[in-house]
Structures are given as C-alpha cells and as structure tokens.
Amino acid sequence: MKKVLLALLSVAIAFTALAPAQAQDQKVLAIIDTAIDSKNFSSIIYEVCFSQNLSCPNKTNFVEGPGAASAVVWPKSLNDGTHHGDWMTKAALKVDPSVKIVFIRYSNVTASGSSANRPESLVAAIDWVSKNSDKYSIDALSISQAAVDTGNLSRCNVNSPNFDNVTTGAVSLLNAKNIPVFVATGNHARSDVIGWPACTPGAIGVGALTTATSLLLEKATNRGPGLDIVTFGALEIYKGTIPTAKFNLSGSSGATVVSATTYLKNNTYKTFQEYFNALPKIVINTVSYSRN
C-alpha cells in the first residue's frame, strides 16, 4: 500500500436531530456526495448539509437532521450531477442491502437544481465525519469526488502553503479509529497523479476495472501514485424512482462506493490494514494493485 495509514441558525425549516438508533453490529457507511432524497431510502440514518451559497434546505450553509442532505430544487433531468449522490447510495445498497448510511451533502445547489461542488464544503464534510464517527458508529467513509487542478492537488503537498491540514488531520483521526477513507482517484485519464482528496495521506485511492474479472483499468481512471485498490463498480442501477430507467455506473465513483461497502460486508479482520494486506494483488502495466 503506497500511503501509510496515519495513526493519528436562523432557520427557515426546523430540523430535529436524530439520535443514532442502529444496533452495535450494524455496519454504517458515511457517504459524502452531492445530495440525496432520503424519503426514498430507509437505510439512511442521518443527514448533514454543507454549502457555500446558502443552499442547504434551511437556506444556510449548514444543517443536520432529517431532510438536511436534500436539494431544495431537484433538476428535471435525471442525468444531472445533482443525482450523483442517489446513484452512489443505490450502488452501496446493491452491494449490501443491510448497510446503514450517514449521508453528507457538500454541493451547492442552484435555483435550477444543478450542483456545483466546492472544496471548502468537502473539507468541512470530511472533518464532520471525523468528529462524529463515534456518535453515529461510522465504520467507513466513501468519497466519490476528485479534482486534479493544480490548486486542489497542492492540498496534498506538505511543502505547499496550500497544504490541507484539516483534511489530513481528519483522515488521520479516522485511520486512528480504524475507519478507512475510500476516495475515488478520478476520471481524468491521468497517469501521473490521482485527484484530491484521494491524494491525502492515509486515504485509500480507488480506481475502476473494466470488468469483474479484468486486468485492465477503465481508460479514464487516474492511475498515478496513490491508486491503492482497484474494483469493478459498473453496477446496474436505476435513475430516480423509475425502476425501468436502468443504466450502468462507470468510473472511479462507483468503484469507490462499491469498494467501501464490500469492505464492510466482507471484512472479518480486526483492522482495515489486515483486510487490505489480505486482498488479492493484480499487476496492471507492471504496477501491483490490491483488488477489492
């Protein structure tokens, strides 16, 4: 494994905080993504929203509780990126229908329902998970988001003035609690880098395989240093609430949430490191990866 796991309101709508109700033996996955309509998912046990444009359902930049991660306006097109969180949640539940989910929305949502993802909100969301993981019995974190612009990549450079101490510290704290952080490496076809926040020390960079038995990465998967786990994540799900509107996921996004949920479903080891060490290894273009 390349990266070492570090030990380390004025409101318009009232939201009532939920007390964690899951049993001790239930597996809980935190998903940070665009938005979710939790009315469609009984498996979602808690919701949080971070934004930078006062677009959380209470018209502020932060709220938590029932309905918090929803978009106030949903885009008419089910192909719009705002529905990305819906897709990731369905993928997790397809791997394990019994998994419980804490969903954290980090996207600005416009008046038309389209989403704009902001790094400031993503940092805050990761930090929230690290500080609330015990309260909600979170066992793993899945982040199917990636950026490869120079500014965001510099967040992983310890010698840069833009080095992201908050994200690094949050990931370190989660690792110290044996909570792995699965992050998509991104779909920019880069062979020299992986996206942020996958490049954060201690994060598990996840890329996508072309098929369930393939020794090939999807062409778009970023495969630079820090790609740790490869997974086939192109599951068939459906758009919105229309079961007949089926489509196959693609890219490192689906691979990441599938990998995280697979870990929760299959792990029999005391630590994630032991689980990771036991994963089968495959070689792609002379580079060895763990296959989940």
Distance CA 138, CA 147 (A): 25
Contacts of 195 (CB under 8 A, 6+ apart): 146, 147, 148, 152, 153, 184, 185, 186, 188, 222
Mean pLDDT, rounded, for 146-156 = 97
pLDDT for 210 beyond 70: yes
For residue range 12-55, what is the model confidence (pLDDT) as tens digits? 333 334 444 444 578 999 999 999 999 999 999 999 999 999 99
Residue matched to tokens 């990305």: 84
Confidence band of 127 (pLDDT split at 50, 70, 90): very high
More confident: 111 or 186: 186
% of residues, the chain, pLDDT over 70: 91
Q: Which helix (H) or strand (E) holds 49?
A: strand 44-50
Our measurement of the distance from residue 145's CA atom to the centroid of its chain's CA atoms, rounded to an integer in Å, reads 7
pTM > 0.85: yes or no: yes
How, if at all, do strands 236-238 and 227-231 pair?
A: unpaired
For residue range 76-95, what is the model confidence (pLDDT) as tens digits? 999 999 999 999 999 999 99
Residue 218 backbone dihedrals phi, psi, to 5 degrees: -55, 140
The reported pLDDT for the residue numbered 214 is 87
Closest CA to 61 of 30, 102, 18, 107: 107
Confidence band of 279 (pLDDT split at 50, 70, 90): very high
DSSP letter assigned to residue 147: B
For residue range 170-207, what is the model confidence (pLDDT) as tens digits? 999 999 999 999 999 999 999 999 999 999 999 999 99
Distance CA 43, CA 212 (A): 26
Residue 180 backbone dihedrals phi, psi, to 5 degrees: -70, 145
Q: How many CA atoms lie within 13 A of 229 on its CB side?
A: 32
For residue range 220-230, what is the model confidence (pLDDT) as tens digits? 999 999 999 99
The reported pLDDT for the residue numbered 242 is 87
More confident: 244 or 145: 145
> Cα separations (Å) of 269 from 75, 158, 272, 274?
42, 32, 7, 6
Mean pLDDT, the chain, rounded, equals 92
The reported pLDDT for the residue numbered 20 is 45
Q: Which helix (H) or strand (E) holds 65?
A: none
The reported pLDDT for the residue numbered 11 is 31
Distance CA 1, CA 3 (A): 6
Distance CA 37, CA 52 (A): 20
Angle between helical axes of 119-132 and 165-176 (0-180°, round to 10): 30
DSSP letter assigned to residue 116: E
Sheet holding 181-184, edge to edge: 62-64, 44-50, 100-105, 28-33, 140-143, 181-184, 204-208, 227-231, 287-291, 281-284
Closest CA to 71 of 86, 84, 82: 82
For residue range 2-19, what is the model confidence (pLDDT) as tens digits? 444 433 333 333 333 444
> Cα separations (Å) of 194 from 23, 91, 152, 200, 255?
37, 23, 11, 10, 15
pLDDT for 141 beyond 80: yes
For residue range 234-254, what is the model confidence (pLDDT) as tens digits? 999 999 888 889 999 999 999
The reported pLDDT for the residue numbered 118 is 92
pLDDT for 160 beyond 70: yes
Tokens of 18: 């939920």
